[in-house]
Chains A and B, each alone.
Chain A
Amino acid sequence: MTIQVHRVGKRFGAFVALDDVSIEVPGGSLTALLGPSGSGKSTLLRVIAGLEPPDSGAVILSGLDVTRTLPQDRGVGFVFQHYAAFRHMTVWDNVAFGLQVRKRPKAEIRARVTELLELVQLQGYAARYPSQLSGGQRQRMALARALAVQPAVLLLDEPFGALDARVRKELRAWLRRLHDDVHVTTVLVTHDQEEAMEVADRVVVMDHGRVQQVGSPRELYEQPANAFVMSFVGPVNHVDGTFVRPHDVLIHPIRAGRPMAGQEAVVERLTHLGFEVRVELTLAEGGGRLWSQITRGDLERLGLEPHQRVYVEALRARTFDADAPPVRDDALAAAVAGR
Chain B
Amino acid sequence: MRSRQLPLSGPARQSALRTTPPLWLRGGVLVYLGLLIAGPVALVVRNAFADGVGTFWTAITRPDAVHALGLTLLIAVVVVPANTVFGVLCALVLARSKSPATRILSAAVNLPFALSPVVIGLCLLLAYGTRGWFGPLLDAIGLRVIFDVPGMIVATMFVTLPFVVREVEPVLREVGTDQEQAAFTLGASPVQVFWRITLPSIRHAVGYGVVLTVARAVGEFGAVSVVSGHLAGRTETLTQYVDVRYLAFDLTGAYAASIVLGAMAVLALVGMNALRGTVHDGREEAV
Contacts and interface: CB of A to CB of B under 8 A. Distances in A.
A82 B184 contact: no
A130 B282 CA distance: 11
Given A80-B178, A84-B179, A101-B196, A130 B185 contact: no
Nearest to B282: A131
A88 B182 contact: no
A138 interface: yes
Among A77, A84, A131, A148, the one with the most B-chain Cβ atoms within 10 Å of its Cβ is A84
Contacts of A86: 179, 182-183, 197
Contacts of A84: 178-179, 181-182
Contacts of B196: 97, 101
A317 interface: no
Given A71-B181, A84-B181, A86-B197, A98 B287 contact: no
A97 B188 contact: yes
B287 A72 contact: no
A97 B200 CA distance: 14
B282 A72 contact: no
Contacts of B201: 87-88
Interface string A68-97: 001111101110101111111100000001
B284 interface: yes
A78 B182 contact: yes
Nearest to B179: A84
Given A82-B178, A88-B200, A101-B196, A129 B283 contact: yes
B32 to A, nearest CB: 39
Contacts of A277: none
B188 A101 contact: yes
A102 interface: yes
Contacts of B285: 131
A333 interface: no
B192 A101 contact: yes
Nearest to B188: A101
A182 to B, nearest CB: 17
A285 to B, nearest CB: 54
A49 B179 CA distance: 15
A149 interface: yes
Given A83-B287, A88-B200, A131-B287, A101 B282 contact: no
B181 A130 contact: no
B5 interface: no
Interface in B164-182: 178-179, 181-182
Given A85-B287, A131-B285, A131-B287, A97 B178 contact: no
Given A87-B201, A87-B284, A72 B188 contact: yes
- For the side of the interface on B, what is the size category? 20 to 34
Nearest to A79: B182
Nearest to A88: B200
A97 B183 contact: yes
Contacts of B188: 72, 97-98, 101
Contacts of B183: 86, 97, 101
Contacts of A83: 287
A51 B203 CA distance: 26
A191 interface: no
B186 interface: yes
Contacts of B284: 87-88
Nearest to B183: A97
A72 B179 contact: no
A79 to B, nearest CB: 8
B184 A97 contact: no
B187 interface: yes
A145 interface: yes
A146 interface: yes
A71 B287 contact: no
A72 B283 contact: no
Nearest to B180: A84
Contacts of A138: 287
A98 B184 CA distance: 9
Nearest to A97: B186
Contact of B185 (A89, A102, A146): A146
Contacts of B14: none
Interface string B268-287: 00000000000000111101
B100 to A, nearest CB: 14
Given A80-B178, A87-B201, A88-B200, A70 B287 contact: no
Interface in A12-58: 49-51
A149 B182 contact: no
B189 interface: yes
A268 to B, nearest CB: 40
Contacts of B187: 72-73, 98, 101-102, 149
Question: 3 closest Cβ contacts across the A-B interface?
Answer: A98-B186, A84-B178, A84-B182
9 contacts: A71-B185, A80-B178, A82-B178, A88-B200, A97-B186, A97-B188, A102-B187, A131-B282, A138-B287
Given A78-B181, A88-B201, 13 more contacts: A73-B187, A78-B185, A82-B178, A83-B287, A86-B197, A87-B201, A88-B283, A88-B284, A89-B200, A98-B188, A101-B187, A145-B186, A149-B186
